[in-house]
Chains A and B, each alone.
Chain A
Amino acid sequence: MRAFLIAPYYIHWHYSRALKGIVVITGNLMWFCWHFFSVGLLLETLFSPWQRIQEQHKRGLDIEGYLSTVTVNLVMRCVGIFIRSIFIVLGLASIVLVGIGGLAVFAMWLVLPAAIIFAFILGFILLFKPL
């Protein structure tokens, strides 16, 4: 019987603080995707050599050496751009997915009490209906 005493607390929480909580948690998870995929950092360093692997050109006139250095550095930058781009896209996609998921949870949360009642009624009807 005392359980009914907390029903008003629950209803108030369900349609106020819980909704705010869903927004906050979704925001945290979106922030995490940005942080985990290091989207900001990868964008800033998009054109940097992969893992800073690069050759230094030796002094003096050595065209072969110079071209070799330029080629290695160019390849490392291209590898960097390619791999970083993939992870930037993955990061942005995961942020969008988490955002959509958060919106879906928000919408489902709004109808949750009705869904619970519906599930119980449907369950009883299906379970106890004569064969």
Chain B
Amino acid sequence: MTWNDVRKRAIKEYYPGFFLENLWPRGRGIVLLKSVRILWSVLVVLGVLVYGLSKTSSPMLSMYVPKIFGAFSLAFGFWMAAGAIHAFFNWYYYKSMPAAEGEKPVMSFELGRILYRTKPEDILGGFLESDEGFEIMMRTGIDREDIRGFLAHRQFFINPDALSISDEGYTSASDYATSIFDADKDFAQLLFAYGIQKKDFQAITEWVFEREIAKRAQTRWWSRSHLARIPGIGKNWSYGQIYNLEQF
């Protein structure tokens, strides 16, 4: 498959997720949801309090009750809408996880995101300037300034139609990195100069992406594999407690 084909596949698979992440990154989305939830909780408590006071000691406060509940209604509506959009994004974000509701992923979300953000005229730049690409280059031990200098003074740019990426149903990040390594001899030379062989580059890429996937798996608390890690309470009651072994 050419680079363009793989990119099309990534976009077909994850487009709404990429679009939403570009619009509003996931971390900021979580903060926004929490803030709005606090806001409507405060408003509902305040509304009930003011309503109670207006019925007992301060009847003048009654005119503020509809205002407070109006603000609550707006905040709650916004929270519901933001929550639904967040869940929509999450569906794409976790789509590539193994055993995610029977879906068969074509590539990881992270690799898809790199492909989505990469301009066809600068494939290597798109890869190295991504968060994962940056992490990979840090792991290779190449000086940041050297990478910047290399990217700024390159003569060769990979032709997206000439870049062949192995296709066996699933495109891994290391497949993609290997294709770039093979296609861009100058980049391979830069890595060689630092003693990084092709297999090292592949291994670093795999490690970085696997770590990202593991991080994502930790946040997916509702998955059966995550829930299964919480031990049941009945085991010790039925079989007895293993005091000595539990110390290790």
Contacts and interface: CB of A to CB of B under 8 A. Distances in A.
Interface of A: 2-3, 5-6, 9-10, 13-14, 17-18, 20-21, 24-25, 28-29, 31-32, 35-39, 41-42, 44-45, 48, 50-53, 80, 83-84, 87, 112, 115-120, 122-129, 131
B70 A52 contact: no
Given A9-B15, A87-B234, A126-B67, A52 B239 contact: yes
B77 A41 contact: no
Contacts of B230: 32, 35-36
B237 A83 contact: yes
Contacts, number: 133
Contacts of B81: 116
A123 B234 contact: no
Contacts of A126: 66-67, 69-70, 73
Nearest to B232: A38
B182 to A, nearest CB: 35
A5 B11 CA distance: 14
B235 to A, nearest CB: 6
Contacts of B101: 17, 20-21, 24
Contacts of B240: 51-53
Contacts of B74: 119-120, 123-124, 127
B233 interface: yes
Nearest to A38: B234
B67 to A, nearest CB: 6
B20 interface: yes
Interface stretch (B141-149, B163-171, B207-215, B219-227): B219-227
B77 A120 contact: yes
B32 interface: no
Contacts of A131: 63
Nearest to B239: A52
A80 B237 CA distance: 8
Main SS class of interface, B: helix
B76 interface: yes
A122 B91 CA distance: 30
A91 B81 CA distance: 34
B89 to A, nearest CB: 10
B19 A124 contact: no
A13 B236 contact: no
Nearest to A41: B234
B91 A116 contact: no
B241 A51 contact: yes
A20 to B, nearest CB: 7
Interface string B186-220: 00000000000000000000000000000000000
B223 A9 contact: no
B236 A51 contact: yes
A100 B54 CA distance: 37
Contacts of A2: 19
17 contacts: A9-B15, A9-B16, A18-B91, A36-B230, A36-B232, A38-B232, A41-B238, A45-B238, A51-B241, A116-B84, A120-B78, A123-B73, A123-B75, A123-B77, A124-B70, A127-B67, A131-B63
